[in-house]
C-alpha cells in the first residue's frame, strides 16, 4: 500500500467480490463491484472528478469558480468533495424532501443547498438548476445527464477494471440513472468482446428506486441518445422497489452492506442468471448502505419501508 498524495487519487480501482452464493443458477457466477469504496462513498466520485477535470482542460473553470448541479444524491456529494479539494464553490439543487443524510453529507463538504419543490422530484431539481444556470451565466453548469465526461469515466476506468478483474465476464448488469455507467462500461466491454450482454435495470414507470429512472417516464438523458444507448443495451429489466429492498437484505446475508440500487441491480442479475445456461455476471454496487439507514431497509417491515421511501427521497 502506498501513501497517496490526495484523496482524489483514491477514486476508482474498487474491489469485486463473488456473491455466487446468491445466484439462482449454480452454473452462473455473480460478482459485485463495490463502488461504495470510493472516498465520497459512491460510483459518482468517478464522474465528479472526470467532469470537473474535463471542464478544467476546456478552460471553463477559473480558480474559485462557482458550479451548479441538480442532484438528489451521489453526484452532488461526489462533486462537493472534488470541488472542496480543488477550491470551487458548488451549489446543489435538491428536492426539499431528500433524506437528512444527503444534506448532512453535502454540508460536510461545504456545498450550498438550493431547494426545489419536493413534489416535483429530481426532474424538478433539474428544471430549477437549468433556470438558475440561465439566470447566472457566471455559474458553470456541468450537468451529468448531458456531459460526455460522465460515460467516459466508466469507459476509461470502471470498464477496464472489470475486464482486468473478471476477464471471462459474459453479462454486465447495472441500474440506469443518467445511463453513464451502462454506456461507458457497456461500450468498453463490447469493444473487447462483442458477445458480452449489457442489461439495464429500471424501476417501474412512476416509481422510485434509488438513483434510478425509467426511460419511459418522460426524460431521456442526452448522453443516452447521443451515444446510441438504445442500440447498446441488450435488455432492460424492470425491478420493483420491494424487490430491490429484499435483495438489499439478501446482500447483507453475505456481508455486503449496500444501497438500495445495488439490491435492484442484484434482482436484475438474478433474473439474468435464470435465463442463461452458464456465464459470469458482473453487477455494479453504486454505493454503500450508510445513506439509507433511516429507510429501515434492513430492519423494518417491508410495507413500512416502502411507504417511507415514497414520502422521502432517500436516493
Ligand atoms: C445510488 C445510485 N445508483 C445508480 C445510479 C445510476 O448510475 P448512472 O447515473 O451511471 O446511470 C445512480 C445515479 O445517480 C445512483 O446514485
- Check if the beta carbon of residue 70 is closer than 8 Å to that of residue 93: yes
Cell 435538491, residue?
Answer: 94
Residue located nearest, by CA, to atom 15 of ligand 1: 211
Tell me how far apart the alpha carbons of residues 162 and 178 are, in angstroms, rounded to a whole number.
20
pTM above 0.75, yes or no: yes
In the 8-state DSSP scheme, what is residue 215? Answer: G
CA 150 to ligand 1: nearest atom: 10
Domains 7-37+158-311 and 44-144 share a fold: yes
Give residue 214's pLDDT. Answer: 86
pLDDT score for 314: 54
Class of domain 44-144: alpha beta
Distance CA(42)–CA(298), nearest Å, equals 19
CB 39 within 8 A of CB 45: yes
CB distance 176 to 271 below 8 Å:
no
Say what the pLDDT of residue 312 is: 67
Answer whether CATH 3.10.20.740 is correct for domain 7-37+158-311.
no
The whole-angstrom separation of Cα 21 and Cα 33 is 16
- Give the C-alpha separation, 212 to 260, whole Å: 10
C-alpha cell at 141: 453548469
Give domain limits for the chain.
Answer: 7-37+158-311, 44-144
- Cα 280 to ligand 1 centroid, rounded to whole Å: 22
Alpha-carbon distance of 63 to 41, in angstroms, equals: 26
Cα 228 to ligand 1 centroid, rounded to whole Å: 19
Ligand 1 atom at shortest distance from the alpha carbon of 261: 3
Listed in sequence order, the residues at least 6 apart from 18 whose beta carbon sits closer than 8 Å to its beta carbon are 29, 30, 31
CA 294 to each of CA 167, 169, 232, 244, 291: distance values in angstroms, whole numbers, following the listed order? 38, 35, 36, 16, 8
Please report the atom of ligand 1 found closest to the CA of residue 262. 3
Residues 78 and 211: their CA atoms lie apart, in Å, by 14
- Taking the centre of ligand 1 as the mean of its atom positions, its distance from the CA of residue 12, in whole angstroms, is 15
List residues with catalytic annotation.
44, 261
* Distance between CA atoms of residues 265 and 48, nearest Å: 22
Minimum CA distance residue for ligand 1 atom 6: 177
How buried is 95 (Cβ within 10 angstroms: 0-12 exposed, 13-18 middle, 19+ buried)? buried
Q: Please list the pLDDT of the chain residue by residue as tens digits (315 residues).
A: 789 999 999 999 999 999 999 999 999 999 999 999 999 999 999 999 999 999 999 999 999 999 999 986 899 999 999 999 999 999 999 988 888 888 899 999 999 999 999 888 778 888 999 999 999 999 999 999 999 999 999 999 999 999 999 999 999 999 999 999 999 999 999 999 999 999 999 998 877 776 788 888 878 999 999 999 999 999 999 999 999 999 999 999 999 999 999 999 999 999 999 999 999 999 999 999 999 998 899 999 999 998 887 776 654
- Cα angle 114, 115, 118; round to 5: 160
Per-residue pLDDT at 5: 96
Which residues surround ligand 1 with Cβ inside 6 Å?
73-75, 175-181, 210-212, 259, 261, 286-287, 315
Query: What's the gap in Å between 27 CA and the centre of ligand 1?
Result: 29
Distance CA 234, CA 90 (A): 37
Supply the DSSP symbol for 258.
B
Amino acid at each position: 500500500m502506498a501513501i497517496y498524495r490526495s484523496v482524489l487519487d483514491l477514486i476508482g480501482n474498487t474491489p469485486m467480490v463473488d456473491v455466487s452464493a446468491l445466484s439462482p443458477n449454480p452454473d452462473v457466477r455473480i460478482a459485485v463491484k463495490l463502488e461504495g469504496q470510493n472516498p465520497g462513498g459512491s460510483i459518482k466520485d468517478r464522474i465528479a472528478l472526470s467532469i470537473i477535470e474535463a471542464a478544467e482542460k476546456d478552460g471553463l473553470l477559473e480558480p474559485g469558480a462557482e458550479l451548479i448541479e441538480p442532484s438528489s444524491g451521489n453526484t452532488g456529494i461526489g462533486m462537493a468533495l472534488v470541488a472542496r479539494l480543488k477550491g470551487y464553490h458548488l451549489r446543489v439543487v435538491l428536492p426539499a424532501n431528500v433524506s437528512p443524510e444527503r444534506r448532512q453529507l453535502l454540508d460536510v463538504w461545504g456545498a450550498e443547498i438550493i431547494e426545489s419543490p419536493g413534489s416535483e422530484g429530481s426532474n424538478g431539481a433539474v428544471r430549477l438548476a437549468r433556470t438558475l444556470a440561465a439566470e447566472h451565466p457566471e455559474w458553470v453548469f456541468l450537468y451529468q445527464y448531458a456531459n460526455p465526461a460522465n460515460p467516459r469515466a466508466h469507459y476509461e476506468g470502471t470498464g477496464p477494471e472489470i475486464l482486468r478483474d473478471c476477464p471471462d465476464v459474459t453479462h454486465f448488469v447495472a441500474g440506469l440513472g443518467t445511463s453513464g455507467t451502462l454506456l461507458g462500461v457497456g461500450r468498453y466491454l463490447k469493444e473487447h468482446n462483442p458477445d458480452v450482454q449489457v442489461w439495464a435495470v429500471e424501476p417501474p414507470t412512476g416509481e422510485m428506486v434509488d438513483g434510478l429512472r425509467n426511460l419511459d417516464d418522460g426524460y431521456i438523458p442526452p448522453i443516452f441518445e447521443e451515444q446510441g444507448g438504445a442500440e447498446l443495451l441488450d435488455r432492460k429489466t424492470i425491478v420493483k422497489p420491494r424487490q430491490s429492498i429484499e435483495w438489499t437484505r439478501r446482500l447483507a446475508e453475505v456481508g455486503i452492506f449496500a444501497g438500495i440500487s445495488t439490491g435492484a441491480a442484484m434482482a436484475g442479475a438474478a433474473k439474468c442468471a435464470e435465463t442463461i445456461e452458464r456465464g459470469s455476471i458482473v453487477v455494479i454496487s453504486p454505493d454503500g448502505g450508510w445513506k439509507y439507514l433511516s429507510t429501515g431497509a434492513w430492519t423494518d417491515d417491508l410495507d413500512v419501508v416502502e411507504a417511507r421511501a415514497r414520502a422521502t427521497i432517500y436516493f
